[in-house]
Amino acid sequence: MTDKRFRFGIVATPADGSPDQWTKTVRRAAELGYSTVLMPDGLQLLSPFPSLAMAAAVADIRVGTFVAAAPMRTPYAAAWDAHTLTVLTDGRFEFGIGTGRPGTDKFAEKLGLPYGTGAERLQQVRETLDHLAELDGDRHTPVIMAAGGPKALALAAERADVVSIAKGALTPPAEVIQLAEELRTLAGDRADDIELALNLFAAGDGELPPWTKMATGVEPEALRATDSLMLLPGGPRQMADELLRRREVLGASYISVNSAYLEELAPVVELLAGQ
């Protein structure tokens, strides 16, 4: 399905008031062989752009937004922040951008910005990428897009370097595979250049944390029962074999995991290094 080598990232956030925890997590991720520290976007968190600048300064690791919500900034402001991180990290920044998760409308309102329709928010994404390309000039900031709907998939096929299929936790694997096929068809000659990302909520056979429902929208038992792609069960060898299988059938080679599972996935990162 793809000849791209695996790379791994963690999705993490700095605890408010605890810079030491943030730098410790970033440095540990780099020590364990992870490629990237990725940070989500929302007013309940610290701002991702300065947080990621700090992360890139304390360890030799790539950093990225996963993903910045377009309605929370004007297109030029978002592009400015992204370009700035590309320059300051010497090209180690990946700009993840999307139209926003549920609840982003309240964030936009608090910021005094319009939320807009789905079409308007997708146009914001396009305008942001246009401004970023202009600011970058001869540079290139890799773009991550979370896309699930037809129009978002089409834009991702046209503009993204990395695509994460944005579907719910209980989406059947066959549907995700179909969407990945549609993405490649839409991308045409660009298909081989696109890296497909898969975000894991949990890895290993341990009990899912109590905040599972809040994070995924579904009960832990439902995730287990439906073989959700957000889970990666088993020991290190079983998890590695499953990721090899998913790369074969889905094409996903960029694997990220919630930072709570940083240590659990580390043996898999080591097993699949260079593959």
CATH number at 15 reads 3.20.20.30
Q: Is 50 contained in some domain?
A: yes
What pLDDT does 227 receive?
Answer: 79
When divided into structural domains, the chain yields a total of 1
Residue 187 lies in a domain: yes
pTM for this entry: 0.95
pLDDT number for residue 116: 95
1 part of a folded domain: no
Question: Is 99 inside any structural domain?
Answer: yes
- What pLDDT is stored for residue 181 in this prediction? 96
Q: State residue 256's pLDDT score.
A: 97
Locate 76 and state its tokens.
């030029």
Cα separation, 137 vs 209, in Å, equals 44
Q: Which residues of the chain have pLDDT under 50?
A: none
In this prediction, residue 222 carries a pLDDT of: 78
Residue 70's pLDDT is what? Answer: 97
Query: What is the pLDDT at residue 226?
Result: 79
Residues spanned by the domain of 104: 7-271
Task: Look at residue 2 and tell me if it is in a domain.
Answer: no
